[in-house]
Structures are given as structure tokens and as C-alpha cells.
Amino acid sequence: MGGITGWVSFGQDLTIRHDVLAAMTATLLPRGRDAGGLWTSEHAALGNRRHAVQDPANGAQPMFAGHATITYDGEVYNFQELRADLSARGHRFTTRTDTEVVLRGYLEWGLGVAERLNGMFAFALWDARAQRLVLVRDRLGVKPLHYYPIGGGVLVGSEPKAIFAHPSTCREVDADGMREMVFHTPGRTVYKGLYEVRPGTILTIDRTGTREHHFWRLETAPHLDDPEETAAEIRRLRQDTVARQLVADVPVGWLTKRSGDLLELFQAVPERVALPVEGADDLFEGALPTCDLPDEVLAALDLDTYLADSHATAIGEIARLPGESDEDWERRKTAYLHLTRTLPAVLDRIDRVSAAAGLEVRLPFTDHRLVEYLYNARIPSLTWSCRTGSRSG
């Protein structure tokens, strides 16, 4: 866990705007009380608040190597394998952090580093050679990452309050923002001019503009495993995911009970990192915030039209398998809407509350391999007939 900030301006010298970056970064103190750092160059500035769980004595951020500087929040669970690969390619590490693995991974693979990462992560990286800012967010959107375009550049922050600490911003909620309180659209926020990097997405920002690249999407695929094979694969993925997420240089605890108040639950954990013992449904029941608006406001927002359009857009993103029954198609649509529209709002609240409690919460159920497998395995009638013992579809 940590907090990141950034500011890119191609029209001014940011080395003399250290105070603004410091103010932005200071708003994220609860996300990282162990250390803080600022880095400025002519056209780019990065800030970081660190909650140290890997190599606490080292790993100060922002971190730089070669032509790249990074500010990073999250955990990459396969960093040890990637580190070994990079070491074999000639990279020499000075810390035991996953941050340095991501940084050197960019130097080796460029934007291709994102698809190699397994974990929850959000980072901003300044490439001095290409004179571009790279923003990357994990596949399910466990870690938040916001940006706010301004004249000649962009502002970046883990949370909106970091961006709104900049004097060029305006905290305004318009009609579209109020609609977002009711139904979340990937990439949008409740504030006018403020956006989220969409889950599974890379943004690059340079003098010519902003480009978006998706390194992961939730895809439809045939499920060909029988029930026994399915159960075994789910078990294998869960065991591997939990084993990876237990790796830390600080004590790891367990969230073993439900509570009506998430902050109370998180504050009760004495360790710095925690995993849930039970499934997400038990632990985070009721975690999705609700929004009650006056009737006259609801009427003005024309929510029926908005929800119909938003629903149609979401459904249009899903591929239907040939021969998929109407029942299975409905289940697939429900699963997709939950994973891409409802879950991000839940994850955002979990992130905010855990940050306020000074606790890094790791969520095994958000491992993208498990999500991909279960998303398609939950459509049973197309791919397996228990009566005949044969595959169908």
C-alpha cells in the first residue's frame, strides 16, 4: 500500500514547483506513513508515500534507473520470478522490492512489462528518453489511479484529494458526475474533468497527446474442463494465489470476522498486511456505498435513460459463445456487470478504508487468473453434461 502523485507540464519548469508537489503528496500521508519522497525534473514531477512491506530499510521512492523514474503503489506477487528473469538478462538490483522489479522490467520490456505482472498495482513512470508519462493500473482495478488533464500536461494521484490540492484544479460535480453515483462507468468519476485509468489499461501522455492501451480484458472463452477438473483447477489457483500473497518482509495477518464497519474491522488487525480467511461475499457484504438523491434531482438526471444506455454499453463489450443458451447468457451478463461495474466501486471503498486504517489488504479473489477461469467456468450447461458424461457445445 502507498500513495502516488504526479505532475507533467510540457510548458513550464517543474523544478521550481516543488511546493505544489509536496502539498499534493502530503494529502496521502495515511496511505504511507513509513516514508515519503519527491522527485522533480524540468517537465515531470513525481511524489510518493510509502507503507513498506518489502525490504523496509530500502526501496525509497520515487525510484529511478536508467532513463526511467517511477512512483508505485501495490504488490506484484510474481516479482521473484521476474527478478530472476531480469537478473539473467544482466540487470543488477540494489533492493529486494517489487518496485525495482517493475522499474527494471520497463527498461527491459517497455510497455510490455504490464502484462507480465501478477498483482494489485498502480504506478506512474516518467520516461526521460521518450519524454512521456506512463500510467498503469492492475487488471481488476484493485489499486486506484486518477488523472486530471490540464493545459500542456496532466496531474496524477491515487486519490482525488491529491489532485485537488493543485491550484489549477476545480472540484466540481456536474450532472454526469451525479449519475456516476448511481452506476459506475469504467474511467469516469463523480468530478468534472477527473478520470480514472481504467483497470487493465496503460495510458501514455506526451507532447502529442494521450493514448490508451488495454493489456487485459475479461474475455469469453469455452470452458472444457469437467467438474472434477474444474474443482482441481480452482483449488490449485486458490492455493497458488494465497501462497504468493503471503510473501512480505513484515507480519501478515488474517481478517477472520465480519463487521458492520470496515474501518473497525481493519483497525482491529495488529499486522501491517492482512488477507481474508473467508470469501469476499462474507467479508465485504454491504461494502458498496449507496446514494440517496432527492426525487427532483433524480428526475432531472433522467436515470432511466442513463442506466439503459450504460447497461447496453456494458453488454456490448461481451462476446457470446456460439450455441450459448439464453440462461447461460444471462448468467454471463450478470457476472460481467458485477466484475466490471459493481466490483470496482467496492474495491475503491475497501482501498480508502484500509488506507485510513494503515492496513494493506490483499484480496486473493481478485487474482486475474482465478477471475478468468471462474468467469467462464460458471457457465456449466454449455460445456459439460453430467448426465451423459460428455462435453457439449
Q: What is the pLDDT of residues 282-324, one digit of tens each?
A: 334 444 455 677 888 878 888 889 989 999 999 999 999 999 9
Residue 119: DSSP 8-state? E
Q: What angle do CA 106, 20, 181 make, to 5 degrees?
A: 75
Query: Which segments of 65-218 does DSSP mark as H helices, in order?
Result: 79-88, 98-109, 160-163, 175-180
Range(s) of the chain covered by CATH 3.60.20.10: 2-214
pLDDT at 378: 67
List of the chain residues with pLDDT < 70: 256-260, 277-291, 378-393
Overall fold of domain 2-214: Glutamine Phosphoribosylpyrophosphate, subunit 1, domain 1 (3.60.20)
Whether the bond into 227 is cis, omega within 30 of 0:
no
pLDDT at 336: 93
In the chain, the amino acid numbered 307 is L
DSSP characters for 172-190?
---HHHHHHTTS--TTB-S
Instruction: Tell me the whole-structure pTM to 2 decimals.
Output: 0.92
pLDDT at 281: 47
Tell me how far apart the alpha carbons of residues 347 and 344 are, in angstroms, rounded to a whole number.
5
pLDDT at 291: 63
Query: Which segments of 152-288 does DSSP mark as H helices, in order?
Result: 160-163, 175-180, 227-245, 262-267, 280-283
Tell me how far apart the alpha carbons of residues 145 and 191 are, in angstroms, rounded to a whole number.
14
pLDDT at 266: 85
Strands (E), 258-312: 273-276
Residues 27 and 221 sit within 8 Å (Cβ to Cβ): no
Residues 31 and 51 sit within 8 Å (Cβ to Cβ): yes
253 class by beta-carbon count within 10 Å (0-12 exposed, 13-18 middle, 19+ buried):
middle
What are the pLDDT digits (tens) for 352-361?
A: 989 988 999 9
